[in-house]
Amino acid sequence: MKEIGWPTIDSKHLVVYSKQMRDLETEIFSQGMPQEALIEKVGIQISKWLLKRKSLLKEGVVVLIGPGHNGGDGAVIAKELFLKGYLVKLWCPFPLKKTLTINYVNYLTSIGVKKLDDPPNPKGKGLWIDAVFGNNQNTKVDEELIELINNKFDIKSGNVVSIDVPTGLCPNSGKPFLKNAVKANYSLVVGLNKIGLLQDTALPYVGELHHIDIGIPRNLLSKLESHILKITYQDLKTINLPLLPKNSNKYKRGRTLLITGSEKYPGAAHLAIKGAISSGAGFVSAILPDLVAKSIWQVAPELVVKGRLESDPNGNSNLFEALKNIDFSSYDSIVIGPGIGLNKVDWEKSKEYLIDFKGLLILDADALNRISQSNLGSKFFLERKSETWITPHDQEFVRLFPDLSCTNKVELAIKVAKEFNISILLKGANSIIANNKKAWQLFGTDAETARAGLGDLLSGFIGGCSAIERSYFGDYINTESLAKYVFLHSFAASKCKKGSNPSLVSDQLSKLMRKTKARLMS
């Protein structure tokens, strides 16, 4: 874990499975902390979060108390809110099992908190707190309970806050155990991030995700066998990039080659070029279809055209003839794929040049689709001896690796990276970056910034940034760098969401890169 430099390894960033969190709690108890003390701490921290948002509480609160310690957390929350003068009621949908929870509920009723005999009315405008199962869930979930809570959510009558994990949602996969799970307006994650809640599949259920810090000692965090980190836009302030010597000439400030576009998809080439230029790389060159090559000087005069892509009868690009004339040793990175179209025969002839390339090979879009159709298939990656990064979305990933399955996408990305010795960006609402043993989960991105063409822009940006870094550090750069590039691209898109077309995003990327490097130099 020490090899990871960004972001900081702490409770806000670490991502774990439900069992890892339970084991950590057991370790805390073995060191002498009473269970009562931890439940009090969790409940008080969540109460503080709620008391900062008094608008959620003004119509009263119903706390749904579960049979275990998650119910105990809910009981402490009920106590704290009641003592602050808020109208609080309890409802226990299941018989209570844990002695601590039973004692808390008995205390609450003794001081005047009303315990409901019947289910609360979902049409009421008060806040419902789902403290039913939390992290310790299994497949035995009451569907009627979920339907009741979701009725309140769907008619928008007050808010639903889930403690740790919404009831009915698997904390490891992010999928409902059965047909449905509780839809929360807010999910308050206790201690460490549960991996399932960060998955795209969990988005309809978790609402706004907030971390509740309970002060887990760092020496316990260091014992976790967790190599997954959550990154959000708040981590921009700690990101670092290589600062090249001021006397470096353009050939020593990153040399990247883009092989992109076709008669069918000329726009992809323009977008990839914009991304590469916005990185600040010293030397950006490209092999382009003739249609683009003739006019590119008008929009990107700094680009060096190194060759022309011939077109097949269907408008797809043929790479082989152009690749024969390229001195591959001149480049730190090569990006291939955006908009080149599909041509299996051409790929079979061309692949040896790419297999032998000793720099960083970045494969996106139609390059990945060509590989999935080729004779080698995904074994292509095993033929390469140098670094390879791939950037598939879900469908491209399935075409490449049709027989792989895991509990969640993070597992899947790590498994593929390990098996094929590559680094992978698995694109999605919450994109995942992984190598053979580590992963970075991007979270909290703005869905409105998703636009056609931003993937092409990203691939060019990755090509330029990686070329800069390789020119500085030599033959190998860590997958952490890929995570940083993806993060910066996403952040730039979020800053121009009112019109987040690729041109605006590329301009924002250029500003962001300059601003970040200026901060590092100050």
Beta partners for residue 144, in sequence order: none
Report the SS3 class of residue 208.
strand
The model's pLDDT over 57-87, given as tens digits with 9 standing for 90+, comes to 999 999 999 999 999 999 999 999 999 999 9
Residue 225: CB atoms within 10 A of its CB come to: 9
Q: If you write DSSP's letter for every residue of 402-428 in order, what string do you get?
A: TT---SSHHHHHHHHHHHHT-EEEE-S
Q: With CA atoms as reference, report the closest residue to 105 among 129, 132, 133, 74.
A: 74
Tracing tokens 């750069």 back to the chain, one arrives at 477
Judged against a pLDDT cut of 70, whether residue 4 lies above it is answered with no
Q: What's the N-to-C CA distance of the chain in angstroms?
A: 29
Q: Which two tokens stand for residue 476?
A: 């190998």
Residue 66 · residue 134 · CB < 8 Å: yes
Q: What is the pLDDT of residue 5?
A: 85
Q: What is the pLDDT of residue 444?
A: 87
User: What mean pLDDT do residues 201-210 have?
Assistant: 97
Q: What is the pLDDT of residue 1?
A: 36
User: What mean pLDDT do residues 144-168 have?
Assistant: 97
Question: Which stretches of 32-96 are DSSP H helices?
Answer: 35-51, 69-83
Burial 393-418 (b: 16+ CB within 10 A, else e): beebbebbbeeeeebbbbbbbbbbbe
Residue 205 · residue 169 · CB < 8 Å: yes
Q: What is the pLDDT of residue 451?
A: 57
Based on its alpha-carbon atoms, the radius of gyration of the chain, rounded to whole angstroms, reads: 26
* Out of 196-200, 217-221, 230-234, 444-448, least confident range: 444-448
Beta partners for residue 318, in sequence order: 310
Q: 451 φ, ψ to 5°?
A: -140, 150
pLDDT confidence of 247, banded at 50, 70, 90?
low
Residue 462 · residue 271 · CB < 8 Å: no
- As a whole number of angstroms, the distance between CA 96 and CA 65 comes to 8
User: What mean pLDDT do residues 25-35 have?
Assistant: 93
* Out of 31-35, 242-246, 403-407, 474-478, least confident range: 242-246
User: What mean pLDDT do residues 426-450 have?
Assistant: 87
Comma-separated ranges of CATH 3.40.1190.20 domains in the chain: 241-403+450-477+492-521
Q: What is the pLDDT of residue 257?
A: 98
The model's pLDDT over 311-325, given as tens digits with 9 standing for 90+, comes to 999 999 999 999 999
Residues in the chain: 522
Judged against a pLDDT cut of 80, whether residue 500 lies above it is answered with no
- As a whole number of angstroms, the distance between CA 458 and CA 362 comes to 11
Q: With CA atoms as reference, report the closest residue to 310 among 296, 291, 297, 286.
A: 291
Residue 46 · residue 188 · CB < 8 Å: yes
Residue 344 φ/ψ region, left for φ over 0, alpha for ψ in the -120 to 50 degree band, beta for the rest:
alpha
Judged against a pLDDT cut of 80, whether residue 125 lies above it is answered with yes
Tracing tokens 């999935």 back to the chain, one arrives at 372
The model's pLDDT over 257-298, given as tens digits with 9 standing for 90+, comes to 999 999 999 999 999 999 999 999 999 999 999 999 999 999
pTM listed for this prediction: 0.94
What is the DSSP-derived secondary structure letter of residue 236? G
Beta partners for residue 305, in sequence order: 286
User: What mean pLDDT do residues 335-347 have?
Assistant: 98
Q: What is the pLDDT of residue 222?
A: 85
The model's pLDDT over 86-117, given as tens digits with 9 standing for 90+, comes to 999 999 999 999 999 999 999 999 999 999 99
Q: CATH says 15-224 is which class?
A: alpha beta
Q: What is the pLDDT of residue 491?
A: 94
Judged against a pLDDT cut of 60, whether residue 449 lies above it is answered with no
Residue 481: CB atoms within 10 A of its CB come to: 23
Q: Which helix (H) or strand (E) holds 105?
A: helix 99-110
Q: What does the angle CA 114 – CA 72 – CA 197 come to, to the nearest 5 degrees?
A: 115
Tracing tokens 């002060």 back to the chain, one arrives at 215
Q: CATH says 241-403+450-477+492-521 is which class?
A: alpha beta
Please give the mean pLDDT across all residues of the chain: 93
Residue 362 · residue 333 · CB < 8 Å: yes
Q: 198 φ, ψ to 5°?
A: -95, -5
Residue 32 φ/ψ region, left for φ over 0, alpha for ψ in the -120 to 50 degree band, beta for the rest:
left
Residue 447 · residue 430 · CB < 8 Å: no
Report the SS3 class of residue 67.
coil
Question: What amino acid is encoded at 468 in this protein?
Answer: I
Q: 301 φ, ψ to 5°?
A: -65, -20
The model's pLDDT over 367-400, given as tens digits with 9 standing for 90+, comes to 999 999 999 999 999 999 999 999 999 999 999 9
Comma-separated ranges of CATH 3.40.50.10260 domains in the chain: 15-224
